[in-house]
Structure 1
């Protein structure tokens, strides 16, 4: 086993398989991200192959997020915001704002391109952008499915409330509730907010489970864990945690994937050859363009794809 973090007691907690302290990267203009997955410590949790915390970033009037058009294959992207407004455009012709508590679920399948930018009104006003960007790898039988995009309003997603806990079920099933967001694998993804002193039990409903602590501090058996840490739990163990202070976390996981995945840039596949094909397609302009966009992110010059089991 391998571990992150300076405290051996925390690292060796019997409920944990892996503890990851996510590094922070500054993308410029005061916008920072913390990447929990993939990590050298753990490549995937269930179908989740990528997990980034975006911000919080406070933009001045006239400034905002500008992610130019770029491609994806073999995955679904999931954008979820705590603060702010992001305007999504894709090569299917979709134009969709996303606001806090809503879900933008884009299935790349055999190939899609999209952009994500701060919307015009939010850019003019300035303000905070804060959220989570996740990628969900697709099962082999669905890797080449037709690309698709769906948006779900916040009030269409299940809420679980009680005793200082408020949980928003983004996708999959958890604690007897099921999200209307259609997924192609057995999984769960939830946003949970706990008041100081509140407790939460994560049942052993799935083989692979993790908690990414966005804000606050939580205790498991009296041992504290902090914001920016990804806790990957052992299979079969019921996890009882308590918030030392007001805290917010993402709960995620599912059943193990049907084999290893390779990743290069924004491409995910069970086949190295398919990654090479996608690279050539983007480099040579064979992806459908995103309407209303004139820019794009060029294919990066990077080493050979890395295998993520």
Structure 2
């Protein structure tokens, strides 16, 4: 955790701002909690290929433009950005390396190849896929019957 001149950064996972989380990650990852006091600013460097900012509370600007609260704003790749707190601000910054290609999501199945998702659905329906724990609700334990 870093707390300096009205800016507090807590690295939840990954690394950034010369900080590193103890949480193990498998690829370059940035997941940081940011707290800025009124009238303070933070330079967000380009150390991660992809970055996005989510303001939980407070009024803030990114490079002079107002940031909507409760919205994820994607930062331009390869450009530093400056976060400015118009009031006390609580935000999270996420990012990391770009994926090697598109991903498809169907219920709890995620893959780059739709055939892998189809196979996972078949295994699940046949009872050979991983099952939910007993405490999970019934609605969470079965993929929807409809196809994509």
- Give RMSD over aligned pairs: 1.8
Deviation at 1:291, TM superposition (A): 4.7
- State which of 187, 194, 202 in structure 1 corresponds to 2:36: 194
Instruction: Provide TM-score, normalisation by structure 2.
Output: 0.88
Aligned pairs, number: 146
Given that residues 13 and 25 in structure 2 are in contact (C-alpha distance below 8 angstroms), is that contact kept between their aligned partners in structure 1? yes
Residues 254-273 of structure 1: matches in 2 within 5 Å? 254-273=96-115
Deviation at 1:222, TM superposition (A): 3.0
- Distance, in Å, in 1 between the alignment partners of 2:19 and 2:64 is 29
Deviation at 1:241, TM superposition (A): 1.4
Deviation at 1:274, TM superposition (A): 1.0
- State which of 45, 66, 70 in structure 2 corresponds to 1:224: 66
Q: Structure 1 segments of 4 or more deviating over 6 A? A: none
The 3-state SS of whatever aligns with 1:280 is helix
Give per-residue Cα distances to partners, 1:25-78, cap 9 Å, x unaligned.
Answer: xxxxxxxxxxxxxxxxxxxxxxxxxxxxxxxxxxxxxxxxxxxxxxxxxxxxxx
- Distance, in Å, in 2 between the alignment partners of 1:272 and 1:301 is 17
Segments of structure 2 that go 5 or more residues without pairing to the other structure are none
Deviation at 1:242, TM superposition (A): 0.7
What residue is the counterpart of 1:301 in the other structure? 145
Given that residues 108 and 143 in structure 2 are in contact (C-alpha distance below 8 angstroms), is that contact kept between their aligned partners in structure 1? no
- Distance, in Å, in 2 between the alignment partners of 1:192 and 1:274 is 38
Higher strand share: 1
The 3-state SS of whatever aligns with 2:145 is coil
Given that residues 216 and 226 in structure 1 are in contact (C-alpha distance below 8 angstroms), is that contact kept between their aligned partners in structure 2? no
Instruction: Provide TM-score, normalisation by structure 1.
Output: 0.44
- Distance, in Å, in 1 between the alignment partners of 2:65 and 2:56 is 17
Given that residues 213 and 227 in structure 1 are in contact (C-alpha distance below 8 angstroms), is that contact kept between their aligned partners in structure 2? yes
